[in-house]
Each structure stands twice: as C-alpha cells, then as structure tokens.
Copies of this chain bind each other. A is one copy, B any other.
Amino acid sequence: MISQTAEYALRAVVHLAYHPDNPQTALQISLSTHVPSPYLSKVLQQLGRAGLIHSQRGLHGGFTLLKNSTDVTVYEVVQAVDPLHRITTCPLGLKAHGTNLCPLHRRVDDAMSLIEKSFRESKIFDLINEPNSSKPLCPFPIEVAAV
C-alpha cells in the first residue's frame, strides 16, 4: 500500500515532531524508529531535498522539522519520498479513452483519491497528540526523549 520507504519517512518525521527544539541525529532517529540507520540516512536526505526537514552537520547537529507539526501532513511526507501517482490517462494507451478513464481505471483511481484525501487530512501533530491512544514509536515517550 505505502512503500517501506514511505513508512520509514513517516516514522522519522514523527520522531522529529517529538523533538522540535533538539536536532536529532540519524542514529537517534534510527534507534527510536527501528529503521536501519544507513538506509534512514538516505530517506532523511530525500526529506531534506523535499524541503521538509533541515540538516546540520557537526557536533550537536542533526535533523529538525522545518515546519510546525501542525502544518505537516502525512501526504506531504509520503509525497516527498514515494509519490502517489494518480491515473490521468488510459494505462493501455487507448486513444479513444484519452483522459476519460474507463470504469476499471476510474475505480482504481478513485481508490487512490480516497487515500490521498485521508493522508491530506492527517497532520503529524494529530498523530502524536491523539487522546486515549498509544504514542507512535514509543511505548514510553519519556524514554525516547532521553535518548
């Protein structure tokens, strides 16, 4: 449904959202998100190039969210690393269909639009502040903060 890479990116952004004021190193993020750290570095690079996070080298460096978590959506994160490709023309290349999808592709694309809508409406802030539910990434938020 969503790629492994998109899942990793979401975890990383959630982790950064927990620490808006402290740059988090790739290693720290890796430990709390359970994402293999060399691969995570690549994913973080993609998020950086997409303008979602800032990176700082050197001692006390690391990654920080560029926007407040209230202004970052799941959609933006997924789109940054593994964009959802909507169907805009007939995948069979039938000219007679053109931009007017047949019922088969219409329904598949409609399904994608449901996903897109759902992801656009989910803000990272909401994920980490939902009442009466466990916190993403951390059984014990205090521990993550202490890493």
Question: Which A residues form the contact surface with B (CB < 8 A)?
Answer: 1-2, 7, 10-11, 14, 33-34, 74, 84-85, 91-97, 100, 102-108, 110-112, 114-115, 118-119, 122, 126-128, 130, 133-140
Contact = CB atoms under 8 A, between A and B. Distances in A.
Contacts of A136: 102-105
Contacts of A140: 96
B134 A97 contact: yes
A31 to B, nearest CB: 11
A104 B14 contact: yes
A34 B93 contact: yes
A110 to B, nearest CB: 7
The 3 closest A-B pairs by CB, nearest first: A96-B139, A104-B136, A103-B130
A128 B111 contact: no
A119 B130 contact: no
